[in-house]
Amino acid sequence: MRKTPWASIAKIEADGVHSGTGFLVTGHHVLTARHVVADETGRPFSRIRLRFFVGAEYEGEPEFETSATIVDGFSSAKDDFALLLCGSSPPPLSQPLLLGERCGQFLGCVSPGFAIQDPAGFTASGKISSLNEPVENGGTAIGLQFDFGSGVLMKGHSGAPVLIYGRVVGLLRTAFLDEKKRTMGGMVQATSIARVVDYCNQRSPDLLAFHSPITWPRPASTQDTRILADRRGEFEIFERMITGQCRERILLLKGASDCGKTVLADELMEYARRLGLPVAKADCKGCPSMDFIFRCFLFGLGRGVLPVAAAEAGDSRFFSMMDDLTALEHAAVIAFDTWQVSSQDVRDWMEKVFLPNLWRMPGVVVLIGGQEVPDRRAPAWGDLAVLRPLEPIRSAEDWFEYCLRRWPSSTIVKQHVEAITLTASANATPGVIAAALETLHGGLQLRVAPVSSP
């Protein structure tokens, strides 16, 4: 798990009294529970102060304090939240927390805040118990079951973030208390962050976001360096995907053995690397395990792309990997080759978990090649996919262009290429024709090689 982001979590005082917790959601805005900063009628308390204990996360850094006000129109009694505007910029090391939508029942969660149980900072841990728990005002909230059980003093923790895999999925609003104001059974309720984002963005579009804006590269200005002949269509589709020019982000390359799938995929990935994108490839030959696939992603994408997943073990790595990819601010490519021999575990995870959640990872482009590929008719992700069946390449013009790119100084002429394509069988694969041209090129090289003097 990530180190607890204390520098981004504020202890809130209202009229000089510790009233709750809040957390940064933009460079100047803090989110908290409404009842932390306003009375029962909704009237804001006259003096709201935020204290960031930066040194709890970054050793040696001083405490930072600023005033705050409720942003007019950005609070809700029903969902018990309020958006605060900081009176000055937060400390430089304080970063807005990442917001997340994935909040499944029984998932583990943590909530760091300033409950009077430990005013210096206290992290509660537990699980999501319910996604639609009724609340007194007729709405619903996320139900939480914290591990600490009964007897904990949770006052002052209201407004604290609820984190799953490093992303905020809710903010604490209500704890079930006994007559001594101590928790009963560790049962707590939280407002869904998705509801907060929707509410705020209806009033100020794009104020809050689950995804960072993606930085896409520009297409290369140099001459096309494709090696395989007549794959312009596939190249252009992939180029549009990795430069952010289209909605689709899954390219399925389907073809028979020796049709050039691997060569084409390798060229596409090399082009993506040339544009500066991190690229990871997993070959499914031999039915590799999910652990192997994870290591291919981890090492292929490079240091820093999967920071949370890299620090974890077990199945949680794969969910953390999706959260890491969701948090990307730049594009990345992951590729699978020889999909038809992938293990059932890999297929199930890709088709039932990863691809259906690709819409949450706006910077990720997926390339899958094989004699079989996932069915793009899948309703959860099919509209993000383009299927390209790779047919035999019959055009002598395309193959001659291939020869000029592959061997710029070769003495191969167009008539040579026409002879090979005419004599090839109707179903000759690109691999067969490419091998014939390779043999021709080698023979011509021998004929023009200088003869050594005796």
Give the range of the structural domain holding residue 441, as residue numbers without chain letter: 396-448
- How far is the C-alpha of 229 from the C-alpha of 235, rounded, in Å? 11
Average confidence (pLDDT) over 374-400: 89
Please report whether residue 103 resides in a domain: no
Residues 135 and 259 in one domain: no
What confidence tens digit (pLDDT) does each residue in 67-88 have?
999 999 999 999 999 999 999 8
- Tell me the mean pLDDT in the region 339-350: 94
Q: Please, which pLDDT band fits residue 1 given cuts at 50, 70 and 90?
A: very low
- 424 falls within a domain: yes
pLDDT at 142: 95
Task: Look at residue 66 in the predicted model and tell me its pLDDT.
Answer: 95
Q: Is residue 294 part of a domain?
A: yes
List, in sequence order, the alpha helices (H) in 316-395.
316-326, 344-349
- The token duo for 196 is 């907060």
Does one domain contain both 25 and 133?
A: no
User: So what's the pLDDT on residue 80?
Assistant: 95
Position 225 scores a pLDDT of 56
Domain boundary among 34, 54, 86: 86
More confident residue, 407 or 137: 407
Question: What 3-state class would DSSP assign to 212?
Answer: coil
| Mean pLDDT, residues 349-371 taken together | 92
Distances in whole angstroms, Cα of residue 286 to Cα of each of 123, 292, 339? 44, 11, 11
CB 89 within 8 A of CB 28: yes
- Provide the CATH number for the domain around residue 150: 2.40.10.10
Span 5-27, average pLDDT: 94
Task: Count other Cβ atoms within 10 Å, centred on residue 54.
Answer: 21
97 part of a folded domain: no
The answer, yes or no, to whether residue 273 has pLDDT greater than 90, is: yes
Mean confidence (pLDDT) of the chain: 89
Has residue 376 been placed in a domain?
Answer: yes
Domain co-membership, 323 together with 425: no
Q: Does one domain contain both 401 and 373? A: no
170 with 259, same domain: the answer is no
Distances (CA, A) of 222 to 87, 225, 226, 264, 408: 50, 8, 12, 19, 16
Q: How many residues does the chain have?
A: 454
Count: domains in the chain: 4
**Domain co-membership, 240 together with 356:** yes
Helix (H, G, I), strand (E, B) or coil at 69: strand
Instruction: Give domain status of residue 225, yes or no.
Output: no
pLDDT score for 363:
92
Q: Is 255 in the same domain as 377?
A: yes
- Predicted local confidence at residue 223, as pLDDT: 55
Instruction: Assess whether 41 and 183 both reside in one domain.
Output: no
Average pLDDT over residues 4-8: 91
Any idea what the CATH number is for the domain that residue 252 is in?
3.40.50.300
Pair (250, 328) in one structural domain: yes
**Residues 82-138: pLDDT tens digits?**
999 999 888 878 889 988 877 888 888 999 999 988 888 999 999 999 999 998 877
From 40, 55, 86, the end of a domain falls on 86
- Asked if residue 293 belongs to a domain, the reply is yes
The per-residue pLDDT for range 23-34, each reduced to its tens digit, is: 999 989 999 999
Task: For 132-170, give one letter per residue: b (16+ CB within 10 A) or e.
Answer: ebebeeebbbbbbbbeeeeebbbbbbbbbbbbbbbbbbb
259 by DSSP, 3-state: which? coil
Do strands 81-86 and 108-113 pair parallel, antiparallel, or not at all (unpaired)? Answer: unpaired
Q: 367 and 245 share a domain? A: yes
pLDDT tens string 221-272: 655 556 666 788 899 999 999 999 998 999 999 998 878 888 889 989 999 9
According to the model, what pLDDT value does residue 452 have?
53
Position 28 in a domain:
yes
Least confident range of 197-201, 337-341, 446-450:
446-450
pLDDT in tens, 296-321: 999 999 988 998 888 888 888 888 89
CA distance 227 to 408: 12
pLDDT in tens, 419-428: 998 888 877 8
Spatial contact of 212 and 198, defined as CB atoms under 8 Å apart: no
- Of 389, 414, 437, the position where a domain reaches its end is 389
Model pLDDT for residues 190-212, shown as the tens digit of each residue: 999 999 999 999 999 889 987 76
> 411 or 2: which carries more pLDDT confidence?
411
Q: Decide if 154 contacts 122 (C-beta within 8 A).
A: no
Q: Does residue 148 sit in the same domain as residue 296? A: no
Half-sphere exposure of 318 (CA within 13 A, CB side): 18
Does residue 241 sit in the same domain as residue 367? yes
